[in-house]
Amino acid sequence: MNILVVGVGYVGTTTALLFAELGWNVVGVDSNERKIQDLENGVLPFYEPGLDTLLKKHIESGKLSFSTNLSEAVKHHDVIFICVGTPSMEDGGADLQYVRQAATTIGASMDDYKLLVTKSTVPVGTQRQVVQWISEAQSQSIPFDVVSNPEFLREGSAMHDAFHPDRIIIGSDTEAGAEQLKRLYRDLECPYLVTSPATAEMIKYASNSFLAVKISFMNELARLCDQLDVSISDVAEGMGYDTRIGRSFLRAGIGFGGSCFPKDVKSLLHTSKMLGEPLRLLQDVVAINETQYIYVLERMRKRLGSFQGKQIAVLGLSFKPGTDDMREAPSLSIISYLVEHGAIVQVHDPVVRMPAPLLTDNLAQFADLQDTLSGADAAIICTEWPEYADADWASLKKAMKQPLLVDGRNMLNRERLQAVGFTYVGIGNG
Ligand code: NAD
């Protein structure tokens, strides 16, 4: 079977490389010509450990190639994965215009049976909508199946997650469609769950929303722990030993960001609002998340008196380590808040470069950690990059004007930082 992947962003590129590595012939199509040029030259348009090596390998092996011509590519492929973006609209709903464009072009171009697989995260009911868009675009009736196969990879470990998924969810109306998709994944050992398309779509939203609930629960509890002089990190460890709870997603911090959690939670809330079935817990999850960074910055401000004229170092820009993705990164809200309140901000990230137009007299980026902290009245860690865990904080302290360190990810050891003279402020650690 020949595989076509439509939309070669994080998910599409990872999907294309997974199937090339599993031995299938794959073509990746994107409407962004620059992206396709880069990929053809073996250059990843984003940072993701491990993917670049695999990209070069499969361009050379001939298993993977790229194109910008979707109509033409449709004709030569049996299975088509839709991996285009589904960003948030103003009202929180998912913008399906890219899915619709892809479905319409596919419908208008197909000349034979096709299996369409939706990997993009889409609201419940979208599979039915895609079937309709394709049917309407066809000039004559040609059979096809549309299967929902949500993606669960995490940026920063995309390759590992693609090859070692916790599960593969296949939402299909037909047994044949589900079986065909299973055959593509045949070498991956993990549980397979075949459901209706709508259920598969809901599983994706429910999973991301549940993880967001865990994060906001711990962040809200952290605020109480600060009042009670209790360590949220110790509470998380104590909770995590309980296998019913699990250890992951219990670390308090400045809140969640990225291209998925904020948009997916809002999309599910939008669906619930449309149906008059409010999800109150998720409404609170969003409210807690949107105020968490302010809570943390206010703890810094209390110690500084005011942000006006203060030099603040912001360490980490990406929404999490291992990626250069800044979509909805809490660091951006933190930088805006600091600048709005009169601070002079110096940022650092081991991978991400702040877009030049965003840099001003009050906002500069440094490549070196020591330079970033030089003369700073305070620093805040926004991304748990290993570079910050491994830094020589004793020497960095000497560069700062005031040794105030706000650990927005609760990643450093308080005692060690205090021992070298820092005023260490964690989150939910009293
Ligand atoms: P992305 O923005 O990195 O990539 C989307 C790509 O689709 C872009 O390169 C864009 O140019 C292309 N595109 C848009 N319309 C097109 C069209 N009509 N024809 C061809 N190409 C087109 O997005 P992403 O992060 O890869 O996410 C894709 C989907 O997967 C989203 O629905 C997202 O919610 C979901 N998802 C993302 C992740 C993640 O970690 N990034 C994880 C799981 C699921």
Q: What residues are in contact with ligand 1 under a 6 Å CB criterion?
A: 6-12, 29-32, 35, 70, 83-86, 98, 101-102, 120-121, 151, 153, 155, 259-260
Q: How far apart are CA 298 and CA 409, in angstroms?
A: 16
pLDDT band at 308 (very low <50, low <70, confident <90, very high): very high
Report the nearest atom of ligand 1 relative to the CA of 150: 44
Q: Is the pLDDT of residue 418 over 70?
A: yes
Report the nearest atom of ligand 1 relative to the CA of 84: 7
**For residue 40, how far is its CA from the centre of ligand 1 (angstroms)?**
18
Q: Name the nearest CA neighbour of 362 among 383, 341, 382, 379.
A: 341
Q: Which of 95, 100, 259, 261 to mutate to test the pocket of ligand 1 (most atoms within 8 A of CB)?
A: 259
Residue 198: per-residue pLDDT: 98
Residue 430: per-residue pLDDT: 64
Segment 186-236, tens digit of pLDDT: 899 999 999 999 999 999 999 999 999 999 999 999 999 999 999 999 999
Q: Name the nearest CA neighbour of 324 among 32, 48, 34.
A: 48
Segment 163-197, tens digit of pLDDT: 999 999 999 999 999 999 999 998 999 999 999 99
Residue 1: per-residue pLDDT: 84
Residue 276: per-residue pLDDT: 98
What integer is the mean pLDDT of 311-340?
97
Q: Do 372 and 347 meet the contact criterion of CB atoms below 8 Å apart?
A: yes
Q: Would residue 83 show up in a list of annotated catalytic residues for this protein?
A: no
Q: Is the dihedral of CA 236, 239, 240, 246 positive or negative?
A: negative
N- to C-terminal Cα separation, the chain: 58
Residue 90: per-residue pLDDT: 96
Residue 27 parent element (H or E):
strand 25-29
- Residue 380 three-state SS: strand
Q: Is the pLDDT of residue 91 over 90?
A: yes
Segment 4-29, tens digit of pLDDT: 999 999 999 999 999 999 999 999 99
Q: Do 276 and 317 meet the contact criterion of CB atoms below 8 Å apart?
A: no
Residue 47: per-residue pLDDT: 92
330, two tokens: 């809490």
Residue 429: per-residue pLDDT: 85
Segment 254-296, tens digit of pLDDT: 999 999 999 999 999 999 999 999 999 999 999 999 999 999 9
Distances (CA, A) of 411 to 364, 398, 420: 25, 21, 17
H/E/C letters for each residue in 105-154?
HHHHHCCCCEEEEECCCCCCCHHHHHHHHHHHHCCCCCCEEEEECCCCCC
**For residue 99, how far is its CA from the centre of ligand 1 (angstroms)?**
10
**For residue 80, how far is its CA from the centre of ligand 1 (angstroms)?**
14
**For residue 277, how far is its CA from the centre of ligand 1 (angstroms)?**
29
pLDDT band at 397 (very low <50, low <70, confident <90, very high): very high
- Residue 82 three-state SS: strand
The strand pairing partners of 416, in sequence order, are none
